[in-house]
Amino acid sequence: MAPASPTPVSHNPPKQSNPLYWRRLLLASLTAPVVGAADVGVYLRLRDRLPGRLATHIGSGGAADGFSGHGGFLTTALVLILGIGLLFGAIVHWVRAASGLQRGMTAVGCALYVFIGSIFAALLLANADVDDPASVNMSGWQVGIPVLITAAAGGLGWLVAGAEPAPAPADSPPPARAVRLSLAKGEVASWSRPVGSRVLPLVGLATVVAGVVVGSTVGWGGVAVPLLLGGVPVALLTGARVTVDRRGLIVAPKVLPRPRLTIPLERMVEATHREVDAMRDFGGWGYRVTGGASGVILRSGDAVSVRLTNGTEFAVTVDDAATAAALLNSLADRERTPGA
């Protein structure tokens, strides 16, 4: 008998099947220069009314405590906005295999450019017609309006980025070569298995401990809170339970009911299992999105791999993935075979 050849996993970039890809990429990367140009416009309009040195930082009391020249101020604003524009352009391209995430990233990018842009504009307005920049102060509404504009920009970005139309549900059963698990008529099946990572909970715990140590020694003002905010989800979300049943493939955190990822059966063309190398195939651990695939990769090794109707792969690493894949194929058979 010839040795079983490994399932050929496509190494060609999958065809760009996301119809909103270009719209979102343009939205994420062109909004930044537009916002930057708007800031320059505001500056040019106000230039004659601005003091020689601008108040550029407003302390917690509402009074200016940081200053710079015109050129430095504009350069900082443009570098920041355009830099973040490049970053989010790259992110939106990078997460193209996960349409919902891509939409969210487009909206977050738009909101971020507009937030930074409007804060710079508000600073310029606060500097207008003052003789001494040290007397510049900003009141609540001068910060509140940028926040409102930001929320509006995020919402608008979300709407323009658009929801991908639901792909046509798979209408034919998985191919004959796919492995199945025989189910009797009327039999209900559910497969479930926990998957953990040895590394990530320790990383999360170490981050939390570092946060507590820094907070109690240096103070809670600096990096302590970000450390805690970063460490807690890492520690809590790195154990998952993978379930396969009539609803499809479900990945949920072990200790919390949400967030939960569900791939319904009608989005699956075929399920297989394969060996995943976390670093080589997905560039790391966690919820990963790469060019043609997304997945919950908590370790290297055996993984359920599902080919989706939109041409991408969804993978989740879990032991006994072969049983899970076989059950998915059988459930898909049942759903797509009338009268079964």
Interacting residues toward another protein by CB under 8 A: 183-184, 186-194, 241, 243, 245-247, 320, 323, 327
- Nearest CB to another protein, comparing residues 109 and 248: 248
CB nearer to another protein: give 57 or 247. 247
Min separation Cβ 85 and another protein, Å: 43
Min separation Cβ 203 and another protein, Å: 22
**Cβ-based neighbour number of residue 18 at 10 Å:** 20
CB of 160 to another protein, least distance (A): 37
What does 34-102 look like in DSSP terms, one character per residue? HHHHHHHHHHHHHGGGS-SEEEEEE-TTSBEEEEEEHHHHHHHHHHHHHHHHHHHHHHHHHTTT-HHHH
Of 242 and 303, CB closest to another protein: 242
Before 165, cis peptide (omega within 30)? no
In whole angstroms, the minimum distance from the beta carbon of 289 to another protein comes to 26
Instruction: Find out whether 270 and 329 touch, Cβ atoms under 8 Å.
Output: yes
Select 47 or 246, whichever has its Cβ closest to another protein.
246
CB closer to another protein out of 193 and 336: 193
Three-state DSSP state, 329: helix
Between 84 and 189, CB nearer to another protein: 189
Minimum distance from CB of 247 to another protein (Å)?
Answer: 8
Measured CA to CA in angstroms, residue 82 lies from 38, 78, 103 at distances of: 13, 6, 20
Smallest gap from Cβ 186 to another protein, in A, equals: 5
The closest alpha carbon to 291, from 5, 108, 98, 6, belongs to 98
CA angle 132, 133, 134 (to 5 degrees): 90
Measured between alpha carbons, how far is 244 from 314 in angstroms, rounded to an integer? 14
